[in-house]
Amino acid sequence: TNDRILVRAIEPKDEEAWNKLWVEYQGFQKVVMPLEVGKTSFARFLDPTVKLWGALAFDTETGNAIGFTHYLSHLTSWNVEEVVYMNDLYVTEYARVKGVGRKLVEFVYKHADELGTPSVYWVTDHFNHRAQLLYTKVAYKTDKVVYKRIGY
């Protein structure tokens, strides 16, 4: 089934397929985002002047979009070059544990290499064990704890 999976950068024609997955992802994250957030993010994925990118995974036999990743690049006081932050990763329920998530992460790694910013990091909920079954195979777990300004 692995060669049935294609991962590529998001294109303008993908908006409807992407949005369907984006809504599913919000359900998983137990949030409802204003429509404007999705519209803005999608436009930014396509804007060559904005360093926020999106990629979709497809089942090449059905043509269905089955997952996405969103990632960005930012400055850091720790490197000369920027680092890449993977903001989101999602695979639709029926397509899970078939290697789609791994292919999406590998796509981010490849793009990060091409950009000359090979360092990639992300955060996940400590209780998201399913995601961590993948993450422990493609990355290492840091000792860091994440804090956020209260109210944001």
Interface residues with ligand ACO (CB under 6 A)? 28, 86, 88-91, 96-102, 122, 124, 128, 130-131, 133-134, 137
Nearer to ligand ACO among residue 15 and residue 88 (C-beta): 88
- CB of residue 107 to ligand ACO, shortest distance in Å: 12
DSSP class of 132: H
Nearer to ligand ACO among residue 13 and residue 149 (C-beta): 149
Closest residue by Cα to residue 53 from 98, 99, 117 = 117
Closest residue by Cα to residue 64 from 106, 5, 131, 12 = 5
- CB of residue 151 to ligand ACO, shortest distance in Å: 19
- CB of residue 15 to ligand ACO, shortest distance in Å: 20
Nearer to ligand ACO among residue 13 and residue 137 (C-beta): 137
- CB of residue 143 to ligand ACO, shortest distance in Å: 11
Task: For residues 35 and 33, give the distance between their C-alpha atoms in angstroms, rounded to a whole number.
Answer: 6
- CB of residue 56 to ligand ACO, shortest distance in Å: 13
Nearer to ligand ACO among residue 13 and residue 148 (C-beta): 148
* Reduced DSSP (H G I as helix, E B as strand, rest coil) percent helix, strand, coil of the chain, to 5: 40, 20, 35
Nearer to ligand ACO among residue 14 and residue 57 (C-beta): 57
Question: Would you state the torsion angle of the CA atoms of residues 129, 131, 135, 137, taken in this order, to the nearest 10 degrees?
Answer: 80
> Mapped to the 3 state alphabet, what secondary structure does 78-115 carry?
CCCCCEEEEEEEEECHHHCCCCHHHHHHHHHHHHHHHH
